[in-house]
Structure 1
Amino acid sequence: MKTGAHYLVAAGGTGGHMVPAHAVARELERRGARVSLITDARGARLPGLFGGNDRHIIDAASIGRNPLKWPGAMWKIAKGRRQAAGILRDDPPAAVIGFGGYPVLPAMIEAAKAGIPTLIHEQNAVLGRVNRVLQGRVDAIATSFVQTSRLSAADKADFTGNPVRGDVAALARSDFPLFDDVMPLRVLVLGGSLGATVLSEVVPRGLAALPEPLRQRLQVMQQAREEDIADLAAAYRDSGIPADLSTYMEDVPAALARAHLFIGRAGASTIAELTAAGRPAILVPLPIATDDHQAANTAEMVAAGGAVMLRQDKFTPEALAAQIAAMVAKPETLANAAARAKSVGRPDAAIRVADMAERLAGFISRAQESET
């Protein structure tokens, strides 16, 4: 539906919040809408997102555990609310859509106060702190998982999945890369937007421990922290495993398209991309993630048979090598895991969230939405 409406998207400054926000923005624009963004300074710096959109940077802060920092945080939040109120007044949107992160709080509070329709999207299987505060104030909630913990306003919630970029969603229409007893095994290793030291320490040693015939077939693409790159390169060089290493992977969709096996963290966007593309995975949840939400994120994919979850304290070179050997023992085992991963994917999540936004804004009814 071509609406010509204006939507305001609010998202915090991490890729986990900004990428699904970007995906929904592009879907709304495809329908003829205009989209602007409220974020913080970190969000504005993320490359490849919201190019060409009006951007508003506001003040935001978290209320941490240190009481000495509370006055400063409250002052920033109050300032952010004043900034958000001005943005809403100067360019009123048909609806405001929040994707988590601290800049979302002042934007959504002011939108609700002004009577503007409000929608929040939760990426994780555990409702985030900001969304917990907002769930009683907003009009609707989109969830990425059928089961979402800490959700008390379930009557407002619709399951949509977690929006992924269009080039990732397109992988849902592609077959799993051919893999047999002689072809290279292409392994993709990601540890979130900045890499993870534990992956740099364990993965090369685990791959080196594989039987020689399999080790000789490995092709690795790995993202790592800048301070880990030199040691990581030396480890792969010593084991004779070809590896393409980088501190920032610009084209994740292309890497996913080639990969037979993923090893890495279990952030919400990672799970959404793996299941949309249909890629089997060995997942190592971040142990310090709030409410252990990364472990919760793995549950559906693991239950479907598309992934194995290893807690970080059990993530050893020996355990990794044993798991990989089991997954690739027969070519059909890996392909079957890929199909099971895809069975829980939601490549149309951006469409579903955009439908919710249009319905809130009065441009689409539930009957119309059910036909899309």
Structure 2
Amino acid sequence: MTEQRYDSRPRQQPPGPGGTYVLCAGGTGGHMVPAHCLALELQARGHKVHLVTDERGLRFPGLFPGVEITKVDAASTGRSGWKSLPSVALSIWKGRNTARRLFKAMRPRAVVGFGGYPALPGLLAGLSLYLPCLIHEQNAVLGRTNRYLAPRVRAIATSFPRIRRMEGSWQRRAHFVGNPVRPGVLAAREVPFDAETTRLKLLVTGGSQGAAILNSIVPAAIALLPAELRAIIDVTHQGRESDRDAMLAAYRAAGIAPVIAAYFPDLPAEMASSHIVIARSGASTVAELAVMGRPSILVPLPIATDDHQADNAAALVAAGAAQMIRQSEFTAERLAQALTLWLTDRQGLGLAAAAARAAGHPEAAKRLANLVIATGLIA
């Protein structure tokens, strides 16, 4: 895999006024946030950005300021299996035709896909018009949509140096750039990590939808900690509102007065002020933990496609920045053991924070933008 092959080329920026670049993303924040970060970087360089997304991609507030958006039809067989294939194919074809008409009028310099089925119609349209196309993979495993597109696009940008499910013949077009993170995460990177402070903050986050297993296991694990360890920790827990009363009761029984909310308006700030983060290992979470340099205990979502969350977590574990507990082994006893390891070893906790920071790629958006612009310049 090539790391930033295009950085040294003298013609990164197109001559004259900035061009238009189309970003194709939708469905989840894991796809939308990196696309948003690339849009900000391209706009800062004087280029115009157009987003092609699906219905779900319109539901993310605060993303893509000043970006024109076109909604296209997109669908996946999902849990319906092959029975839904005809209707899915029709939706993708309709979305592809909508994007194709848009691109004929716009003639973008490049089309960038961010994985997931909502990106497929736009990339198919770009390929059909022989436009420069490339894809970005957020996870440590190449996703199904990106595996389908990989043989057809000009460049494959990756978030990890090593990617599973990457065919050998695709390696020549693969470029390690990292996973772009939000400006708030980059700002939080400047918050120093102090492992010697009197009290340690523990942040638990299962995402905006919460994670039921975290909501039940974490309070139980903290109750198993020795009293002297419980006395030095503060807990902030992002969890479902429906679980709030049970969590609050469990924490109070353990002598903990937690901060519990279903949503934190500035989660990067909460993460930056934490000493240990317990979370799932989605691509954005892993990238943010690394950029900010925060030790973590990661519980991969077992139903994630191709078990990609386990690969994401393994990358931080290998760097010495995280502990991973498979959900099948995620018990109160096991988590209490993992917490004790760091709560009783401040030096080890500090080393894990330094390892996480060393594994981060705060320049990912810039590197991805360089690759996108260079790809658009290749005739």
- The unaligned stretches of length 5 or more in structure 2 are 1-12
Matched, 1:31 2:41: no
Which position in structure 2 is the counterpart of 1:292?
307
Deviates more, 1:121-130 or 1:207-216: 207-216
Which position in structure 1 is the counterpart of 2:106?
91
Counterpart Cα distance in 2 of 1:281 and 1:358: 35
Counterpart Cα distance in 2 of 1:248 and 1:54: 28
Which position in structure 1 is the counterpart of 2:123?
108
Which position in structure 1 is the counterpart of 2:57?
43
Opposite residue 12 of structure 1, the aligned amino acid is: G
Which position in structure 2 is the counterpart of 1:248?
263
**Does the CA-based 8 Å contact 2:229-2:343 persist in structure 1?**
no
Opposite residue 195 of structure 2, the aligned amino acid is: F
Q: Of the candidates 307, 328, 332, which is equivalent to residue 313 of structure 1? A: 328
SS in 2 for 1:80: helix
Matched, 1:188 2:197: no
Which position in structure 2 is the counterpart of 1:71?
86
**Does the CA-based 8 Å contact 1:15-1:193 persist in structure 2?**
no
Which position in structure 1 is the counterpart of 2:73?
59
**Does the CA-based 8 Å contact 1:204-1:235 persist in structure 2?**
yes
Which position in structure 1 is the counterpart of 2:236?
221
The alpha carbon displacement at 1:30 in A equals 1.0
Which position in structure 2 is the counterpart of 1:278?
293
Percent identity over the alignment? 48
Opposite residue 57 of structure 1, the aligned amino acid is: K
> Residue deviations 1:265-307, cap 9 Å, x none?
0111111001111000101001111111100111221011110
RMSD between superposed Cα atoms in Å? 1.6
Counterpart Cα distance in 2 of 1:354 and 1:334: 34
> Residue deviations 1:151-179, cap 9 Å, x none?
12111100011111122123344421x23
Counterpart Cα distance in 2 of 1:33 and 1:190: 36
Counterpart Cα distance in 1 of 2:75 and 2:113: 16
**Does the CA-based 8 Å contact 1:195-1:223 persist in structure 2?**
yes
Which position in structure 1 is the counterpart of 2:195?
179
The alpha carbon displacement at 1:106 in A equals 0.9
Which position in structure 2 is the counterpart of 1:154?
171
Opposite residue 163 of structure 1, the aligned amino acid is: P
Opposite residue 51 of structure 1, the aligned amino acid is: P
Counterpart Cα distance in 2 of 1:330 and 1:67: 52
Counterpart Cα distance in 2 of 1:130 and 1:230: 40
Counterpart Cα distance in 2 of 1:219 and 1:171: 20
> Residue deviations 1:172-194, cap 9 Å, x none?
44421x232x6221111111341
SS in 2 for 1:103: helix
The alpha carbon displacement at 1:256 in A equals 1.5
Matched, 1:212 2:224: no
**Does the CA-based 8 Å contact 1:218-1:242 persist in structure 2?**
no
Alignment of 1:360-371 (within 5 A): 360-362=375-377
Counterpart Cα distance in 2 of 1:350 and 1:142: 11
Opposite residue 314 of structure 2, the aligned amino acid is: A
Which position in structure 2 is the counterpart of 1:264?
279
Alignment of 1:328-367 (within 5 A): 328-362=343-377
The alpha carbon displacement at 1:335 in A equals 0.9
TM-score, structure 1 as length reference: 0.93
Counterpart Cα distance in 2 of 1:173 and 1:358: 29
The alpha carbon displacement at 1:45 in A equals 0.5
> Residue deviations 1:175-220, cap 9 Å, x none?
21x232x622111111134111000010011112211122122211
Counterpart Cα distance in 2 of 1:349 and 1:134: 22
Which position in structure 2 is the counterpart of 1:22?
36
Counterpart Cα distance in 2 of 1:169 and 1:184: 25
SS in 2 for 1:66: helix
> Residue deviations 1:42-95, cap 9 Å, x none?
111112211321111111011346222111111111111111112212322111
Which position in structure 2 is the counterpart of 1:132?
147
**Does the CA-based 8 Å contact 2:188-2:269 persist in structure 1?**
no
TM-score, structure 2 as length reference: 0.91
Opposite residue 187 of structure 2, the aligned amino acid is: A
Counterpart Cα distance in 2 of 1:42 and 1:349: 25
Which position in structure 2 is the counterpart of 1:167?
184
Q: 1:193 to 1:119 in 2, by over 3 A?
A: farther
